[in-house]
Amino acid sequence: MRKSDFQSIAAKNRTVLNIMGALIQSRNVLVLGHKNSDEDCIASMVAISLLVKKLNRNVSILLTEQIHERFLYLLNICRYNAINIIPDCSGIINEIDTICVVDTPKPTMLQSCQGAEKLLHSSAVKVIEFDHHLAADSAYIAPQETALVATASSTCELIGYLALKIRCLRDLFEGIDVDDIFSRNFVLAVLTGIVGDSKMGKFIKNHRERWFYELFSSWFSRLLSEKTHRTSSNLSSMEEIFKEITRLSKLEERCFKFFMQHKQNAKCISYIILDRSQTSPLPKDTDMDLFVSTARSVTDALAEMSGCLGMVAYYDPPEVSDLIQFRIRRSHSFEGFDLREILTAADIDNGGGHEGAIGFRIPASRIPDIQEFCRKLLEIIDDLLASPSRTPREKS
């Protein structure tokens, strides 16, 4: 079933109560995120794990992929709080009674393993979900009654919302100091996801989301400042967090420059198309995770350069898949155009995202000429932008 926002505050509150009840009954929790984890995904895994740990439950995070060095401070938080980080479920499969899935639009994007797949389909295991992706091809992983899926700046914002609800309903958590939930590490994790996914609020999609973003970011930012020692070198503000998570390594800088060598411009979009020979093999010393991470950064940069849209298209190496990957991002100064319209107009079914950013993938066998395919795609985008009902506007 396609993910959708709650129809009322009452419905959202019922789901929150269901999640609280599931967490109270849990003993051993496994946390899952999506493949090629980004800032919000990793921060969400850490944030919900800290929350579960504060409820005196055992918790493990499944990470089957290597995490970028700029997220090491989040992994160090896990180690400091005795949160297990595991590459597979073989050692704990018989202990897990609850799974928390975060920031994952649909099941096929889940970072998983054989043991986790078995647990997800077990009637004895409760599944809880937190996500802010409501795209056309999205799908619930958890039952709807335990799925906190809603419009938000980030999945971390939803986890912060749950924490606030727990504090308001402290009577349900007898013997637990719910105020202690808002530790510096929890606040740091939540803020990482909020500022990382929205790029410090640049990619907020509507006024309602802007209101919630400013409410949560300002409150959590104040908490972080209060809980950080002034003489410490630790991160103590939203600005410092954003600087840290956008810091490029030398390999990323090299990969970024590789992408930018192929930059092209059309009417309303700056774009890069890499053919098969340019991504197979990958540039020297570049692994796939780094390549995908850099592709995200490049798409953001192209959008800002054009002042409208940015797009990156590239082939997966044959050892990874037979797909061609596409990412499109809207400039933060350009609104009033929902990028998901492109998926519908181009009849693309394997993709998703939100108003300001989409990604999709198409088997290479269906695209004999990537340049010609992208030329037609750009024509579709031009037609959409020219439509009076979808005329985008620049932010004042």
Instruction: List per-residue pLDDT tens for the chain, 396 residues long.
Output: 889 999 999 999 999 999 999 999 999 999 999 988 888 999 999 999 999 998 889 999 999 887 777 778 888 888 888 899 998 988 888 999 999 999 999 998 898 888 899 999 999 999 999 999 887 778 999 999 999 999 888 899 999 999 999 988 988 888 777 777 888 889 888 888 888 776 656 666 666 667 677 777 777 777 778 777 654 556 777 677 777 766 666 777 888 899 999 999 998 899 999 998 888 777 776 777 778 888 988 998 899 899 899 999 999 988 888 999 999 999 877 877 889 899 999 999 888 877 888 999 999 999 999 999 999 999 999 999 887 655 544 443
Domain map (residue ranges) of the chain: 9-245, 251-394
* Alpha-carbon span 7 to 137, nearest angstrom: 20
Instruction: State residue 394's pLDDT score.
Output: 47
* Secondary structure class of 288 (helix, strand, coil): helix
pLDDT at 26: 95
Q: What is the distance between the alpha carbons of residues 321 and 315, in angstroms, rounded to a whole number? A: 9
Measured between alpha carbons, how far is 351 from 376 in angstroms, rounded to an integer? 18
pLDDT at 396: 39
CA 357, 164, 83, 14 torsion: positive or negative? negative
Radius of gyration of the chain (CA): 21
User: Which CATH topology does 9-245 take?
Assistant: inorganic pyrophosphatase (n-terminal core) (3.90.1640)
Cα–Cα distances in angstroms (integers) from residue 303 to residues 64, 71, 90, in the given order:
31, 25, 43
pLDDT at 246: 66
Q: How far apart, in whole angstroms, are the C-alpha atoms of residue 322 and residue 86?
A: 29
Task: Please report how many Cα atoms fall inside a 13 Å half-sphere around the Cα of residue 170, on the Cβ side.
Answer: 10
Question: Residue 363: CB partners within 8 Å, gap ≥ 6?
Answer: 322, 323, 324
Q: Rounded to 5, what percent of the chain is helix, strand, coil?
A: 45, 15, 35
Alpha helices (H) along the chain:
9-25, 39-54, 72-80, 114-120, 155-168, 184-198, 207-227, 238-245, 250-260, 276-279, 288-306, 340-345, 370-386
Contacts of 374 (CB under 8 A, 6+ apart): 271, 273, 311, 313
Sign of the alpha-carbon torsion through 206, 18, 219, 72: negative
Residue 26 sits at φ, ψ, to 5 deg, of: -75, 160
Task: Round to whole Å and give the CA distance between 118 and 313.
Answer: 34
* 321-326: Cβ within 8 A, 24+ apart: 321/361, 322/363, 322/364, 322/365, 323/361, 323/362, 323/363, 323/364, 324/361, 324/362, 324/363, 324/364, 324/367, 324/370, 325/292, 325/295, 325/359, 325/361, 326/351, 326/359, 326/360, 326/361, 326/362
Q: Please give the pLDDT value at position 395.
A: 45
Mapping DSSP to helix (H, G, I), strand (E, B) and coil, where does residue 149 land?
strand
Give the contacts of 36 (CB within 8 A, at least 6 positions apart).
65, 289, 292, 293
| 251-394 is classed CATH 3.30.360.10 | no
